[in-house]
Amino acid sequence: MDNVKDCSMVTEHIESGKRKVTLSLTVNGRQIVRDVDPNMTLLHFLRDNLKLFGTKEACGEGECGACTIIMNGQAVTSCIILAVEAEGAEITTVEGLAEDGKLSILQEEFISQDALQCGFCTPGFLMSTRALLDNNPNPTDAEIVEVLGGNLCRCTGYIPIMLAVRRAAERERKELGR
Amino acid sequence: MDEKKYQSKYKRVGQAYDRKDAREKVTGQAVFTYDMELPGMLHARCLLSPYARARIVSIDTSKAKALPGVRAVLCGEDSDILVGLYMQDKRVLAKGETRYHGDVVAAIAADDEETAERAISLLDVVYEPLQPVHDVDEALRAEILVHDDINELKHYVGVFFPQKDSNIASWNKSKKGDLDMAFEEADLVVENEFSLPAVAHAPMETHVAIVQADPYSNKVRIWSSAQSPFAIRQIMADSFGISESDVEVHIPYVGGGFGGKAGIHLEPLATLLSRAAGGLPVKVRATREQEFNQLPTRAGMRGRIKTGVTKEGKLTGVRAVYDWDSGAYADYGVNVGKTAVYSGIGPYKVDNASIDSKTIYTNKVFSTAYRGFGHLETHWSIERQMDILSQHLQIDPYEFRMMNLLKPGDQTMSGEVITESNGSPSDCLTAVVKEIGWTGRKTEEERQREWKTGKVRGKGFAMLQKAPAMPANTSTSVIMQMNGDGHVKLMIGAVDFGQGAITALAQIAAQELDIPIEHIEISAEIDTRANPYDWNTVASKLIFMGGNAVIKASREMLRKMKEIAAQALRTDPENLLHANGEVYHRHSPERRLTYKQIALGYMYPNGTGIGGPLISSGSSIADGLTNLHPETGQGYPAAVWTFGAHAIEIEVDVETGYVDVLKVASAFDIGQVINEKLVYGQICGGVVQGLGSALLEGYKFNSDEQLMNPSFTDNKIPTMKDIPGKIVPIYIENPQHNGPYGARGVGEHPMISVPSAVGNAVYDALGINFHVLPLSPEAIALGIASGKKSILCTDVDCLPGRH
C-alpha cells in the first residue's frame, strides 16, 4: 500500500496498452494525422509526438496554466485534456504565434515590457492572452486579471505581464485594426 | 510602471535594454532540462518514505529487479554517499532510518516511465514507524536524535557549529557590549515572540537532472535545472571521491530557482542510478507534489526578541534568539541560520546586543536558501518588534526608526564600521514614507469610525538590509574573447535563471568596450568545461562580483587591443583612445583601426600578422571578509550591504479578514541602476513573492509531519488577482566604492520585510499586533474575533475556548 503513495501524480506519459486511436487535427496550421494512445494527454501528444516543446508542464493537474494552448479559439490547459478530445480541432501553440519569421505584436510587447524572467510560464501566458485578445480586443484590467489569474508566474510579480497585455491590445487595435 | 523614466549618465550602463534571452523565451525555443532527452535515456521513479521517521526493517527488491525493462534498483544499502554544501548530512538514499516524509527509500531506473512505475509498486518494504521529532522545542530536548551520527558529520569547520549529541546542526552566536547594563539603563524593556511557517520556493520548472556516468572511467556528465554548476561539481567530486575535472555540469535554461536550486539536489541520485544502469543517462524529475514535499523549503522560524529602549526612543540593547526548524537536513540551512547573527538586529545602531541562532533538525521536510534567506525571517521579528516598541513609547514609528538607523561611523552587529559608501538606510525610509503619504498612526477614534464601514485602511513600513551570505573567500571569474567581426564573447560560470544577469553583465562589457550591447555574445547556458569558475549563483552577488570581473576583463582586453594597434599605427599605446568600436590616436584621430581589424591579430598590407586572437579574463574575490568569531560573532561578513525599505498601504475587510494591498513603495540604495527594466522586474517579483509569504503561504503538517498541502490547489502562491494596486520603485544611488559603476545587488532584497511592513500596516488598521504569518483572511478574521490585541497563534486550536 505504501508503495503507491508517490505514483499518483505522473509527469510523463505512461502507455496504457490500449488499442491506439487515429487522430486528425490541425496544429499551427499544419494537418496532422497520428495514431495515439487513448490515455495520452494533449500536452504529451504535443511534446512527445509532435516535438513541440514550447508548451510546458508545471503541475500536471490544471492548476498553473503553464501548458495552456488554444484549441478551437479557447485557451485550455493541455495537461488535463486527452489528445483524442482534440479530434478535428484547430490548435495553436506558442510555436505558432510568430508568422513568416516575424514576432507577433504580443511577443514583442512581452519582450519590451520585460514580462518574463525565467521564461518557463511564458508560453502559457502568451497563449492565455492570445485567446483573450482574439475574443476581446479591448479588455479591461479586470477582464485581463480574470483570464490570466489562472496562470502562475513566480518571477515577475505579474505587473510587467499586465503592462505587456495592455500595450499589445492597444497596438493590435491600432496596427491590425482589431 | 511609474511614468517617470530613469535617466542614466552612462551610454549603456543604466539603459533599459530588453533581456538577451527574451526572444527565445517568447517563441518556445528556450530549452530547459525538463525538455531534454538524451539517446538511450532511462526514466527514474522514487519511492519516498511514508513516515516522518521509521526504521527500514527490510526491502525486497527481487520482484522489481525481475521486471523486464528495469535497469537499476537502488536502496540505502547500495550507497553510503553523503552530500551537502556546508554540512555533509544528506544521504542520497535513506539507510536504516528515514528522516522525513520525502526521504528516498528506493529508486528505480527503467527503459520507460511505465516500467519504472510498475517496478516501484513491486518493491516490498517493511517499516517500523518511530516517534518523530515534531518541532524545535522537542528537538532541543534531544530525547530523540534526528541524526544520531551528528558528532561525526563533516562540515565547514569554524563557520558552523554542530552541537554534540543534539539536534542542533549549528549554533551561531554574536554578542557585544553589556546587555545586562543595557536592560538596566532602559526605561522600557519589551520581549516578544514572532514566528513564521515553512514555505515553498515553487519555481515553475520543478527540480530535474539528467546524469550520464561513464562506466569506463570516473567521468560524470550532468544536465541540471540548477543555480550553481561549480558547487555541484565540487560537491560531486568531494562526495564521490573523484576529481572535479571528472564532473561535467551543463545548465540549460533554468525555470526559476529563488535559492531552492542552489546547492545540490537530484544530481547524486541520478548519478548512482546511471552508474548502476551501466552508464545509460538517467533523468530524475520531481513532480509538483515532490517539489513541495521532497525538495527543500524555506525553514520555519521562531524569533524571541527582547529590547531595551530609553523613553526618548534610543535603543539600549537587543537580545535575539532565533530557532530555525530546518527539518531533516541542514546542508544549506546552517548558512541561513548563520545570517541571523550578523544581520538579525536590522540596520540599527545597537551597542549592546546578543544573538543566538540555532539551526535545528526535526523530522519535517528539510530547508534551504530562499530569496534573501534568513533576512525575511529575522526582519519579520525585528521590524514588528520596532513597531510594537514605538506603540509602547507613543513615538511615531518613522521618527523612532530614524533615531536608531545606522549612519556613517556606526557599527553593525559584527563590528563593521558603516561609511557613506555603504549607502543610506535613512534615505530609503524617508523616500518610502513620503511616497506612501505617512502622517502618523491612526487614532483609535479614526479606526472605530472606519470600522463601521466594514473596511479599515492602514499604513505600515519596514526597513531591510542584506549582504551576500557567502564564504569569506567567495570568487567569480569571466573570460572574454573577441570574435573575427569585432563582437565579443563573454563567459561566466554563474547562471541567469531569470534575474537578468547576462543582460546586465553584457551592458557593463558594452559600456567598457564602447560597442553596442548586441555585439556582446553571452549565453545563459553554462558548461563547466568551458565557462570559468563561479562559486554559486546566490546572494545577489552576481552584478557586484561578476560585474567587477567583467570590468577587469574588459580593461585587459582594451590594453591588449591598444598594444597591437600601437604597433600597427606606429605609436605608443598611451596615445590611443577607444570609442564606438574603434581605437584611434588622441591627437590625430584619422590614425585609427576598427576592433574588427585587430580582433584576430592585425594584418599588414603585405599579409604579415601581429598580435593574434584577442582574449582576456577577469577575476573577482570578496575583499577583506573574515569568518566570524565563534563566540562573539565579530568580524567582516559583508562584501556589500544593500539597504532598503518598504511602505505599504492596505485595506482590511473586517468581516472576511481579507487584506487588499493598495500600494507598495519600495526603495533600495542600489548605488547605480544597471538596467531599470530589470531592476523593476526584481522589485515587482520580489514584492509579490513577499506578499505571498505575508498573506497566503505556509506549510501545514499532520501529526506525523506529513505535508498536507503539497499542491497549488492547497498551497496557494500569488496570482495576478493578488497584485497590489500599485508598486512604486525608488532607486537610491549612493555609490558603493568598490561596486561596478557603484552598483550593489538587489535581486533578493525586494522580498525582505514585505511581511513586516504588512504586519505593521495591519496594526495601523486594526490595532492588533500579529506575531505569526501568514496574515491570511482566516488568521485576520479569527484574530479580530478573539478580541485580543496580540495574536501569537493563528491555528484554529488557538481560538478562544479551545484551551
Residue B425 lies in a domain: yes
Q: Which of B169, B172, B136 is nearest to B151 (CA)?
A: B169
Q: How far apart are CA B414 and CA A27, in angstroms?
A: 61
Residue B645 scores a pLDDT above 50: yes
| Chain B residues 441-500 with CB within 8 Å of chain A | 497-500
Within 8 A of B723 by CB-CB distance, chain A residues are 157-159, 162
B354 and B498 co-located in one domain: no
B362 and B454 co-located in one domain: yes
Residue B43 lies in a domain: yes
Quickly count: other Cβ atoms within 10 Å of residue B597's Cβ: 17
Q: Is A55 on the interface with B (CB under 8 A)?
A: yes
Residue B118 lies in a domain: yes
CATH number at residue B48: 3.90.1170.50
Quickly count: other Cβ atoms within 10 Å of residue B39's Cβ: 7
Mutate to test the interface with B, among A39, A154, A162 (most CBs of B within 10 A): A154
Question: What per-residue confidence (pLDDT) applies to A5?
Answer: 44
B408 and B353 co-located in one domain: yes
The residue behind cell 561596478 is B740
Q: What is the mean pLDDT of residues B607-627?
A: 97
Residue A17 scores a pLDDT above 90: no
B334 and B212 co-located in one domain: no
Quickly count: other Cβ atoms within 10 Å of residue B672's Cβ: 22
Residue B799 scores a pLDDT above 60: no
B174 within 8 A of B354, measured Cβ to Cβ: yes
Of B256, B258, B685, the CB nearest to A120: B256
Q: Is A21 on the interface with B (CB under 8 A)?
A: no
Instruction: Among B250, B285, B320, identify where a domain stops.
Output: B285
The set of cell numbers assigned to B173 is: 552566536
**Cα B192–chain centre separation:** 27
Residue A12 scores a pLDDT above 80: no
* Structure confidence at residue A14 as a pLDDT band (50, 70, 90): confident
Rounded to a whole number of angstroms, the distance between the first and last alpha carbons of chain B is 49
Q: Which of B243, B219, B205 is nearest to B32 (CA)?
A: B205
Percent of the residues in chain B that have a pLDDT greater than 70, as a whole number: 98
Instruction: Among B621, B649, B666, identify where a domain stops.
Output: B621
* Structure confidence at residue A19 as a pLDDT band (50, 70, 90): very high
Q: Quote the number of domains for chain B.
A: 3
B487 and B446 co-located in one domain: no
Residue B91 scores a pLDDT above 50: yes
Interface size between A and B, measured as CB pairs under 8 A: 213
Residue B678 lies in a domain: yes
Q: Cis omega (within 30 of 0) on the bond before B203?
A: no
Residue B145 lies in a domain: no
Within 8 A of A93 by CB-CB distance, chain B residues are 28
Residue B748 scores a pLDDT above 60: yes
* Domain region containing B48: 33-130+207-285
Under DSSP, is residue B401 helix (H, G, I), strand (E, B) or coil?
helix
* Structure confidence at residue A10 as a pLDDT band (50, 70, 90): low
Question: What per-residue confidence (pLDDT) applies to A178?
Answer: 86
B638 within 8 A of B412, measured Cβ to Cβ: yes
DSSP letters along B498-556, please?
Answer: SS-HHHHHHHHHHHHHTS-GGGEEE-S-EETTTSPPBS-S-TT-IIIIIHHHHHHHHHH
Residue of B nearest to A17 (CA): B114
The bridge status of strand B315-327 relative to strand B353-361 is parallel
Contact A112 B18 (CB under 8 A): yes
Count of residues for chain A? Answer: 178
Contact B206 A64 (CB under 8 A): no
Under DSSP, is residue B157 helix (H, G, I), strand (E, B) or coil?
strand
B191 within 8 A of B216, measured Cβ to Cβ: no
Residue B33 scores a pLDDT above 50: yes
The set of cell numbers assigned to B33 is: 532540462
B444 within 8 A of B663, measured Cβ to Cβ: no
B650 and B599 co-located in one domain: no
| Chain A residues 75-114 with CB within 8 Å of chain B | 93-95, 97-98, 103, 107, 110-112, 114
Instruction: Among B621, B640, B669, identify where a domain stops.
Output: B621
Within 8 A of A144 by CB-CB distance, chain B residues are 720
Q: Is B1 on the interface with A (CB under 8 A)?
A: yes
Check the CA dihedral B361-B365-B371-B375 and report its sign: negative
Within 8 A of A120 by CB-CB distance, chain B residues are 32, 203-205, 255-256
B645 and B659 co-located in one domain: yes
Residue B802 scores a pLDDT above 70: no
Q: How far apart are CA A109 and CA A128, in angstroms?
A: 15
Q: What is the mean pLDDT of residues A61-86?
A: 98
Looking from the CA of B53 toward its CB, the CA atoms found within 13 Å total 18
Q: How far apart are CA B147 and CA B130, in angstroms?
A: 14
Contacts of B89 (CB under 8 A, 6+ apart): B82, B147, B153, B155, B169, B329, B330, B331
Question: Cα separations (Å) of B141 from B51, B119, B144, B145, B326?
Answer: 22, 41, 8, 9, 16
B49 within 8 A of B102, measured Cβ to Cβ: yes
* Structure confidence at residue B24 as a pLDDT band (50, 70, 90): very high
If phi > 0 it is left, if psi is from -120 to 50 it is alpha, else beta; for residue B540 that is: left
Q: Which of B3, B655, B748, B778 is catalytic?
A: B748
Q: Is B754 on the interface with A (CB under 8 A)?
A: no
Dihedral, CA atoms, A74, A77, A81, A83, nearest 10 degrees?
80
B268 and B391 co-located in one domain: no
Question: What per-residue confidence (pLDDT) applies to B800?
Answer: 53
Q: What is the mean pLDDT of residues B349-362?
A: 98
Residue B2 lies in a domain: no
B637 and B737 co-located in one domain: yes
The set of cell numbers assigned to B202 is: 515553487
Residue B191 lies in a domain: no
* Structure confidence at residue B185 as a pLDDT band (50, 70, 90): very high
Residue B609 scores a pLDDT above 80: yes
The DSSP symbol for B692 reads I
Question: What per-residue confidence (pLDDT) applies to B600?
Answer: 98
Q: What is the mean pLDDT of residues B638-644?
A: 97
The DSSP symbol for A28 reads T
For residue B46, the one-letter residue type is C
Q: Identify which has the larger pLDDT, B577 or A15.
A: B577
List b or e across B612-646, with b for residues whose CB sees 16 or more CB atoms inside 10 angstroms.
eebebbbebbbeebeebeeeebbbbbbbbbbbbbb
Of B19, B255, B499, the CB nearest to A120: B255
Topology at the third CATH level for domain A2-94? Ubiquitin-like (UB roll) (3.10.20)
Quickly count: other Cβ atoms within 10 Å of residue B191's Cβ: 11
Residue B183 lies in a domain: no
Distance from CA of B428 to the nearest CA of A (A): 22
Question: What per-residue confidence (pLDDT) applies to B98?
Answer: 98
Reported as a single tens digit per residue, the pLDDT across B428-440 is: 999 999 999 999 9
B385 and B244 co-located in one domain: no
Over chain A, what is the mean pLDDT? 93
B665 within 8 A of B3, measured Cβ to Cβ: no
Contact B687 A157 (CB under 8 A): yes
CATH 3.40.50.620 corresponds to the domain A105-176: no
Residue A1 scores a pLDDT above 50: no
Quickly count: other Cβ atoms within 10 Å of residue A100's Cβ: 4
Question: Cα separations (Å) of B279 from B36, B249, B264, B707?
Answer: 17, 16, 21, 35
Annotated active-site residue B748? The verdict is yes
Question: What per-residue confidence (pLDDT) applies to A15?
Answer: 81
Question: What per-residue confidence (pLDDT) applies to A4?
Answer: 41
For A13-20, the CB contacts below 8 A with 24+ separation are A13/A37, A13/A39, A13/A40, A13/A41, A13/A44, A13/A48, A13/B113, A14/A39, A14/B112, A14/B113, A14/B114, A14/B117, A15/A39, A15/B112, A15/B114
Contact A122 B26 (CB under 8 A): yes
Residue B1 scores a pLDDT above 80: no
Residue of B nearest to A60 (CA): B288
Q: Do domains A2-94 and A105-176 have the same CATH topology?
A: no
Q: How far apart are CA A30 and CA A43, in angstroms?
A: 17
Strands (E), B407-505: 455-466, 475-482, 488-492
Check the CA dihedral B172-B176-B180-B185 and report its sign: negative
Residue of B nearest to A156 (CA): B685
Residue B35 scores a pLDDT above 50: yes
Q: What is the mean pLDDT of residues B579-604?
A: 98
Q: Identify which has the larger pLDDT, B280 or A3.
A: B280
CATH number at residue B333: 3.30.365.10
B382 and B509 co-located in one domain: no
Contact A119 B30 (CB under 8 A): yes
Within 8 A of A47 by CB-CB distance, chain B residues are 35
Q: Which of B792, B790, B718, B745 is nearest to B199 (CA)?
A: B718
B366 and B411 co-located in one domain: yes
The residues spanned by each domain of chain A are: 2-94, 105-176
